[in-house]
Structure 1
Amino acid sequence: MTSETFRIGGERTVRRLGFGAMQLPTAPGPVREASVAVARRAVELGVTLIDTAHLYGWGANEELLAEALHPYPDDLLIATKVGVAPPDPPRDAEICGRPDFLREQVEQGLRRLRVDRLELLQLHRIDPAVPLADQVGTLGELRAEGKIAHIGLSEVTVAELEEARRIVDIASVQNRYNMLDREHEAVLDACAAAGIAFLPWRPVLPAVSHASAGIAAVAAELGATQAQVALAWLLHRSPVMLPIPGTATIGHLEENVAAADLRLSEDQLRRLDRPGPR
């Protein structure tokens, strides 16, 4: 039986099933109040890892989490991401890994989240126009200054992960991965070998959006939803896997969190792992 917790960077223990805050509306009024309630309910349910990013509302998502949860419980880790510049018409939003830009976004994240140190700061995307050593090196400098505890990457290859690890310690990788989309299998395996947390984004889709007789059958056998089966499969796939499903409703949040208690039999796992249509 795999552990229900993971130590990010070998130091910070979190429950492996987290929460992705990207879908939470931040506009004033009842929708914002509902978002605050969802964030607070996640913590009540025992979630200790919440994922956000500067990109999500250009800081508005970080501010929402601070409004909902600050002062933060001692066991709660809020991970955020930097490295995407907001649109400035006629220029669209774009990846930006310039050291001065990354520093400024980190400072903004500290202010918006109302903290002195970001416990997990992830580079949202590698900027191909800036040497990787300059990008992760800047994050390493910020860590040395006490503004970052752990450094992560997002949407990287095995080669990029290896290159980054020669410059700084990498605590997490956030790549797209789910039961029906395993493009980054090699990256997951590299993370498992190195003890690096792997946070799959889009952890449920397309398992619940595409017709899947196999997943539906296992869900029916367990009295669970297809989304719960998809999350349970991820938790079983690797001990470094930390899914961060997102939602804007308390009911769906409770359903997702309950997936941590779902147990798949060896026969069910074999059927779900079978190549081809499931």
Structure 2
Amino acid sequence: MTGPSTFRIGGDLEVGRLGFGAMRLPTEEGPPREGSLALLRRAVELGVTLIDTAFLYGGGANEELIVEALHPFPEGVLVTTKIGVARSAESGEWALDGRPEVLREQVDLALARLRAERLDLLQLHRIDPEVPLADQIGTLRDLRAEGKIGRIGLSEVSVDELARAQEIIDVASVQNRYNLLDAEHEPVLAACEAAGIAFLPWRPVHTVASETTDDVSAVAAELGATPAQVALAWLLDRSPVMIPIPGTASVRHLEENVAAAGLRLTPEQRARLDRHRPAPPQA
């Protein structure tokens, strides 16, 4: 990784530039849950300081798993969660729900599950197209004024949506899908770089691991690394605002992911990898 190994989200909340996405962790009782607890503790041992979760991940079960594993959270460890998706009482189906009263309720429930007085970084999981954006972002702004939220982030947004949100709040982070072989949100990354906003790519290695190119394989061999590690090293090299959040239920893969922060791509290797980037859409 070139550049600094940490990033200050919102200008003041310092985290390491390689986080952990907890979505894939099993939460059911028994050996699967015990494995998840051990993995979360190992992540912190390895120096991971940002753990990403969401209400959607098991209706809060993922948040409760993290609390069981790590609470009281070690100093410097940030657990960030997401709201704005709800399950229908009638059908049991999950759907976007950005109504102000729902967002308020979900923040209160997240505070209770995470045993926190404040959510240092709270992200809107998706913008609900059925609710005015100003109502959704305004509710988060009000919750921050009330001291329940420290910093506000967005997920899976366009450049236009980000700009409109910035008219109402200071956006601290954006969490969009992005990896070596997926350039759809390149314009959003550029907007985040210009504004100093943390960019948390989800699915940072999935596509690369399943569609490895000859150049990715060759660079991996040259570095004595895996294609997934090369994909993470490329992301960390790509932008100083980048904070990948790879997820896994395997301690071995976790350790490999964390080790990727120590890889150094040469300019020639970076150029070979960049050749496989699809053309980004016009902003």
TM tier, smaller = over 0.9
Give ranges in structure 2 of 5+ residues lacking alignment: 279-283
CA distance in 2, matches of 1:185, 1:169: 21
Deviation string, structure 1 residues 233-270 (Cα, Å, up to 9, x no partner):
00000000000000011111000000000000000000
Deviation string, structure 1 residues 108-161 (Cα, Å, up to 9, x no partner):
100111111001100000001111111011011111111100000000000100
Give the structure 2 partner of residue 222 of structure 1.
Answer: 223
Give the structure 2 partner of residue 19 of structure 1.
Answer: 20
Give the structure 1 partner of residue 3 of structure 2.
Answer: 2
CA distance in 2, matches of 1:94, 1:76: 30
Give the structure 1 partner of residue 281 of structure 2.
Answer: none
The count of aligned residue pairs is: 277
- Equivalent positions of 1:53-64 (< 5 A) are 53-64=54-65
CA distance in 2, matches of 1:45, 1:177: 24
CA distance in 2, matches of 1:87, 1:39: 30
CA distance in 2, matches of 1:139, 1:73: 26
CA distance in 2, matches of 1:54, 1:92: 14
Deviation string, structure 1 residues 15-62 (Cα, Å, up to 9, x no partner):
000000001100011110100000000000000000000000000000
CA distance in 2, matches of 1:166, 1:276: 32
3-state DSSP class of the match of 1:248?
A: coil
The AA in structure 1 aligned to 2:247 is G
CA distance in 1, matches of 2:88, 2:26: 20
CA contact (8 A) 2:80 2:121 kept: yes
Give the structure 1 partner of residue 49 of structure 2.
Answer: 48
Give the structure 2 partner of residue 115 of structure 1.
Answer: 116
The AA in structure 1 aligned to 2:174 is V
Give the structure 2 partner of residue 138 of structure 1.
Answer: 139
CA distance in 2, matches of 1:3, 1:87: 44
Matched, 1:90 2:91: yes
CA distance in 1, matches of 2:276, 2:64: 43
CA contact (8 A) 2:154 2:173 kept: yes
Identity of aligned residues (%): 67
CA distance in 2, matches of 1:11, 1:166: 21
CA distance in 2, matches of 1:92, 1:273: 40
CA distance in 2, matches of 1:118, 1:53: 12
Give the structure 2 partner of residue 163 of structure 1.
Answer: 164
The structural deviation recorded for 1:103 is 0.4
CA distance in 1, matches of 2:68, 2:184: 37
CA distance in 2, matches of 1:20, 1:273: 25
Give the structure 2 partner of residue 74 of structure 1.
Answer: 75
Q: 1:35 to 1:188 in 2, by over 3 A?
A: same
CA distance in 2, matches of 1:182, 1:107: 36
Deviation string, structure 1 residues 38-97 (Cα, Å, up to 9, x no partner):
000000000000000000000000000000000011100111000001143436211000
CA distance in 2, matches of 1:90, 1:60: 20
3-state DSSP class of the match of 1:156?
A: coil
Q: TM-score, structure 1 length as denominator?
A: 0.98
The AA in structure 2 aligned to 1:222 is L
Give the structure 1 partner of residue 155 of structure 2.
Answer: 154
CA contact (8 A) 2:39 2:249 kept: yes
Give ranges in structure 1 of 5+ residues lacking alignment: none
Q: 1:220 to 1:257 in 2, by over 3 A?
A: same
3-state DSSP class of the match of 2:120?
A: strand
Kindly report structure 1 stretches of 4+ aligned residues shifted beyond 6 Å.
none
Give the structure 2 partner of residue 249 of structure 1.
Answer: 250
Q: 1:87 to 1:213 in 2, by over 3 A?
A: farther
Q: 1:107 to 1:232 in 2, by over 3 A?
A: same
Give the structure 2 partner of residue 236 of structure 1.
Answer: 237
The AA in structure 2 aligned to 1:122 is Q
The AA in structure 1 aligned to 2:245 is I
CA distance in 2, matches of 1:78, 1:160: 25
